[in-house]
Amino acid sequence: MVGLPERLDPADDSLPAWTERYLDLAVRGVRSAEVTAKISRHLQRFAAWISGGLGHDRLSAVTPREVSAWRDHLAAAGNRGRDGTPAPMAPTTVNNHLAHLSALFSWITAHAPTGLLRHGDPTKKVAPLPLPLPLPAPQPRALAAAQIRTVKNIVDRIETLHELKGRRHRGTVARAHAHARPLRDRAIIHLLFGTGLRRAELVGLDLDQMEPAEADRLRQAKTARLVGVRGKGRTSRTIFVGRDARHALADYLEQQRPGDAAASTGPAALFLSAVSIAARCPDGRLSARSINTIVGEIGRLHDAQTPDPDRKLGTLRPHDARHTFAFQLSQASGHNRAKLERRLGHANDRYLRLYTNPPDDIAAGYIEDL
Closest-CA residue to 323 (of 144, 149, 187, 152): 144
The 10 Å Cβ neighbour count of residue 183 is: 21
* Strand-pair partners of 125: none
Alpha-carbon gap, residue 6 to 1, rounded angstroms:
9
The 10 Å Cβ neighbour count of residue 284 is: 23
For CA atoms 51, 57, 58, 62, give the dihedral sign: positive
- Give the active site residues: 198, 232, 319, 322, 346, 355
Taking CA atoms, 101 is separated from 96, 114, 138, 307, in Å, by 9, 20, 32, 57
Measure CA 231 to chain center.
9
Alpha-carbon gap, residue 89 to 76, rounded angstroms:
7
In order, the DSSP letters of 196-263 are ---HHHHHT-BGGGEES-SHHHHHH-S-EEEEEEE-GGG-EEEEEE-HHHHHHHHHHHHHTHHHHHTT
For CA atoms 257, 262, 267, 273, give the dihedral sign: negative
Whether the CB-CB separation of 272 and 261 falls below 8 Å is answered with yes
Alpha-carbon gap, residue 131 to 128, rounded angstroms:
9
